[in-house]
A = this chain, B = another copy of it.
């Protein structure tokens, strides 16, 4: 029964009242130099650390947080950070943390802008943002800077210096591109080609896609053993299946040496579908994200590898970091790169089943 040191114990040791200790701890001033010295010494020698439970209970304050994410009704990927946020919330709700969601249509700049304004009006104490539109996100973050509102970036990193940025949580996109290249290279011989495909509207307004492409290309240009050419392509509307089919047909006719495709978004399953339709099941496919359709194709051996971006964990950690920052006054590591999980048929279930991840919630 190691007795924990309380403020009262410090006060006794220093020969002052608990109130004085409290003043020193919170730097509220109104403490004589002599008393402060005695208290500081007692704190040191008894190795005091506050009982956070009691502290929070006494604070009796709520913290409002805004979460700006794409809507998850069309794209299963975006339901995962949301789920992570909601689960982390279970862990910290007794600490007074409240989250409001602001979700925008993934291709709708105006909607994004609108949601940003709603957040600015709402007076939040911290913001979680998925800055998938580079320019618009930058101007929003500048507003937050002016408001002294701290924020966390998840999923996509805008690598600008901000005073009030708490941290970035997500993948190292550049290295995920490199890893994708390595995985694709397993099945590709000297002299053959590989293709990198972005299925996205505004590719070059999306930093993470640019970074993935760079990593992918750098891997192949640094390969000593084989010479493999990289074909770059993008297709704006991933929901237009017949267009997608035409697109791949044309690309593959132009480059018959292509043996593998790297899909930089979570739409790998659409690519496989298009390839199926044009009877090209022979190509290696490496994609991103464990959404149901992709995992099924992994099991069916139509996708070779998926790289997991840990979207669930991104949301979870965003809340935890905000909690640490706001309440525990702990400044976290500024760039938190989540693991680049290599998912294949043999280990897929251990990633897509999230039952374990929900357990570690500490109330």
Could you list which residues of chain A lie within 8 angstroms of chain B, going by C-beta atoms?
1-2, 51-54, 56-57, 62, 91-92, 94-95, 98, 172, 175, 178-179, 182, 186, 316-317, 320-321, 323-324, 328, 332-333, 336-342, 344-347, 350-351, 355-356, 359-363
Contact = CB atoms under 8 A, between A and B. Distances in A.
A346 B350 contact: no
Contact of A359 (B178, B333, B339, B359): B333
Given A51-B57, A321-B359, A362-B362, 8 more contacts: A2-B62, A51-B94, A182-B346, A316-B360, A317-B359, A320-B359, A333-B355, A339-B347
Nearest to A316: B360
A91 B52 CA distance: 10
The 9 closest A-B pairs by CB, nearest first: A340-B347, A342-B342, A339-B350, A179-B346, A362-B362, A320-B360, A52-B363, A336-B356, A53-B53
Given A175-B346, A179-B346, A317-B356, A351 B339 contact: yes
Contacts of A175: 346-347, 350
A355 B320 CA distance: 14
Contacts of A345: 182
A347 B179 contact: yes
A350 B359 contact: no
B344 A341 contact: no
A359 B336 contact: yes
Contacts of A339: 341, 347, 350-351
Contact of A347 (B332, B342, B363): B342
Contact of A337 (B91, B186, B323, B350): B350
Contacts of A186: 186
Contact of A53 (B1, B57, B172, B317): B57
Q: Which of A172, A178, A337, A342 is most buried by chain B, counting CB atoms within 10 A of its CB?
A: A342
A48 to B, nearest CB: 13
A127 B94 CA distance: 28
Q: Which of A51, A53, A182 is most buried by chain B, counting CB atoms within 10 A of its CB?
A: A53
Nearest to A98: B2
20 contacts: A1-B62, A2-B62, A53-B56, A53-B94, A54-B57, A92-B362, A172-B350, A175-B347, A182-B344, A182-B346, A316-B360, A323-B362, A332-B359, A338-B356, A339-B350, A340-B346, A340-B350, A360-B360, A362-B362, A362-B363
